Amino acid sequence: MTKKILFCATVDYHFKAFHLPYFKWFKQLGWEVHVAASGQTRLPYVDEKFSIPIRRSPFHPQNLAVYRQLKKVIETNEYDIVHCHTPVGGVLARLASRHARRNGTKVLYTAHGFHFCSGAPMKNWVLYYPVEKWLSAYTDCLITINEEDYTRAKGLQRPGGMTEKIHGIGVNTDRFRPVSLEEQHRLREKHGFQKDDFILIYPAELNLNKNQKLLIEAAALLKDKIPELRLVFAGEGAMEQTYRYLAEKLGASRNVCFYGFCRDIHELIQLADVSVASSIREGLGMNVLEGMAAEKPAIATDNRGHREIIRDGKNGFLIKMGDNAAFADRIEQLYLEPELRRSLGQEGRQTALRFSEARTVEEMADIYSVYMDKKEKSV
């Protein structure tokens, strides 16, 4: 009988962005790959896709019906492995797998960044920590992507459960690679930028956690010192109009570019001078790693995910949360010192290679192999 794995997440684009190499790996081994998530995105290497309307809010009443749908899918298909991702998708899939797990299905959960972390609001600890502690009883392997979460996860996991740490979800270091100055100029022309623009790139959803407000304020501090400064937000989100208004209010509208969703994000990164990130909470910081892979120096807020990859002054700079003046100072320093940009960028490329797609697929293959032939019942 063909072995089967189900991947579950809140939205299907999560898989397209981060997990296709794992789908491909299972297909090459002859497994059936199924996916359950909200959305209509077409995914390669998938035998069966269940479009289930999982809601991002854990309190949305529709998620009760979603739980029933997931439970039926899981029990009908008798999966060997269920691997869940994202906070709400991870909760619902693990709850829906309880009966199947008693019959031998192995349940894995990748935490892409616990909501309860150092510096997180108390409400996050009150709400999310007890839930994760409870769900550990229904999780055979809890996978983390940074050192802080790994240490905390070891305290969460029950006897018999495994805790692992991998190097993120994998950067495609062939796609995200450095380009020549001539190619950078060609890409700038293609995407509507000027050859002499000083471009900061931040590919991220426009939301409160990604905290684009800090970057807009930093750009406003520099608008007279660096007239050719261009802060490029590649992404969409609920905060777009608020951030547009803020840029206008601070007189920095011409310095801030709301590019929107971009399918060729590697090109925007390659045409930039500096990679920036201002998030409050981050599991790892894939956008920073992608910038590093393209030899862009990084300036990022000091959080657990950014600390995992940035060594201050070696491959980028870490900035205290909320310190827009310090952020502006580092931007100006990199503007004035092209040789520093080059050296930090080259060191960043070496960092990104340690988080490459090839390495993380290998790490996940080692984890999966522990469970691929197991079908003993769990208690």
Name the 3-class secondary structure at 110.
strand
Residue 379 lies in a domain: no
- Which H or E run includes 256? strand 256-258
List the domain range (segments joined by +) for residue 126: 4-170+357-371
Looking at residue 376, its pLDDT comes to 57
Could you write out the DSSP letters of every residue in 112-149? SS-SS-TT--HHHHHHHHHHHHHHGGG-SEEEESSHHH
Residue 378 lies in a domain: no
- Which H or E run includes 342? helix 338-354
Looking at residue 117, its pLDDT comes to 76
Of 96, 81, 92, the residue nearest 31 (C-alpha): 81
206 and 338, same domain (yes or no) = yes
197 and 344, same domain (yes or no) = yes
158 and 104, same domain (yes or no) = yes
364 and 349, same domain (yes or no) = no
Cα–Cα distance, 23 to 10 (Å, whole number)? 17
339 and 195, same domain (yes or no) = yes
What CATH number is given to the structural domain containing 224?
3.40.50.2000
Residue 192 lies in a domain: yes
132 and 190, same domain (yes or no) = no
153 and 55, same domain (yes or no) = yes
Residue 17 CB partners (closer than 8 Å, separation 6+): none
Residue 76 lies in a domain: yes
Cα–Cα distance, 353 to 374 (Å, whole number)? 33
Tally of domains in the chain: 2
Q: Which two tokens stand for residue 347?
A: 């060191």
> Which neighbouring-strand residues pair with 142?
109, 163
134 and 52, same domain (yes or no) = yes
Looking at residue 159, its pLDDT comes to 78
Cα–Cα distance, 312 to 347 (Å, whole number)? 12
In tens digits, the chain (379 residues) has pLDDT values of 899 999 999 999 889 888 999 999 999 999 999 999 999 999 999 999 999 998 878 778 888 999 999 999 999 999 999 999 988 999 999 999 999 999 999 999 999 888 887 777 888 888 888 889 999 999 999 999 999 999 998 888 787 789 999 999 899 999 999 999 999 999 999 999 999 999 999 999 999 999 999 999 999 999 999 999 999 999 999 999 999 999 999 999 999 999 998 889 999 999 999 999 999 999 999 999 999 999 999 999 999 999 999 999 999 999 999 999 999 999 999 999 999 999 999 999 999 999 999 999 999 999 999 999 865 555 4
The reported pTM is 0.86
Residue 166 CB partners (closer than 8 Å, separation 6+): 143, 144, 145, 360, 363, 364, 367
Burial (CB count within 10 angstroms: exposed 0-12, middle 13-18, buried 19+), residue 119 = exposed
210 and 333, same domain (yes or no) = yes
Looking at residue 379, its pLDDT comes to 46
28 and 140, same domain (yes or no) = yes
Residue 205 lies in a domain: yes
Residues comprising the chain, all counted = 379
Looking at residue 375, its pLDDT comes to 58
Q: Taking the CB of residue 248, how many other CB atoms lie within 10 A of it?
A: 13
107 and 65, same domain (yes or no) = yes
Q: Which two tokens stand for residue 13?
A: 């684009």
Q: Which two tokens stand for residue 72?
A: 């039926």
336 and 361, same domain (yes or no) = no
Residue 175 lies in a domain: no
Residue 256 lies in a domain: yes
Residue 377 lies in a domain: no
List b or e across 286-322, with b for residues whose CB sees 16 or more CB atoms inside 10 angstroms. Answer: bbbbbbbbbbbbbbbbebbbbbbbbeeeebbbbbeee
Angle, CA 359 vertex, CA 353 and CA 365 arms, to 5°: 170
Q: Which two tokens stand for residue 179?
A: 């380009």
Are 215 and 184 in contact, with CB atoms under 8 Å apart? no
